[in-house]
A = this chain, B = another copy of it.
């Protein structure tokens, strides 16, 4: 009576999620608009392409964030075989904010390192983070889960908390330096790229898996 008739086999669930992640990550490039200077000189085009440097940084940060989210998404569902309706819905919310990410990325690209586009971008990252945290929580409640997954999630919650704190801290920092905020967000993405072992050693003392 609880909607489990709509539970999905993990295969198609992951295929759809992978599809959305792959498309969202690839649409990030559409935030780049060719320079407008039309009777253009080579020097003018070169300058315009170099002037896009904050957008290159944001593109890399967004790409890394979605890419890492995808790797974590895989790890999260590694041991499940079917996915209940409730998790499908939270996952849909996660995909909705991830799919939205190309928009704040392109706003940032258009206006450069100003305060409000950076905050807008940061708020989106916070929303992504909250949805992913909710998904982690719901998976951890699944009855059939093995202890090692719980253990994995406990580590991940520390990890995820660090991300959301950094994202939130970036908001007031943007009032002083939008560039500092972007550097922090890029650093979070880099940090998440470290192998779990090294990363964990920086935040918690835990027995080896």
Once the chains bind, are B195 and A49 in contact (CB under 8 Å)? no
Once the chains bind, are A197 and B30 in contact (CB under 8 Å)? no
Number of copies: 4
Of all chain B residues, which has the CB nearest A15? Answer: B18
A209: B residues at CB distance < 8 A: 1, 5
Once the chains bind, are A45 and B111 in contact (CB under 8 Å)? yes
- Residues of A that sit less than 8 Å from B by CB: 1-6, 8, 12, 14-16, 18-30, 32, 34-35, 40, 42-43, 45-46, 49, 59-60, 63-64, 67, 70-71, 74-75, 85-86, 88-89, 92, 95-96, 99-100, 102-103, 106-107, 109-111, 114-117, 120, 152, 193-198, 208-209
Among all A-B residue pairs, the 10 with the closest Cβ atoms: A3-B195, A19-B22, A1-B197, A23-B26, A32-B103, A45-B116, A67-B92, A42-B116, A34-B110, A46-B116
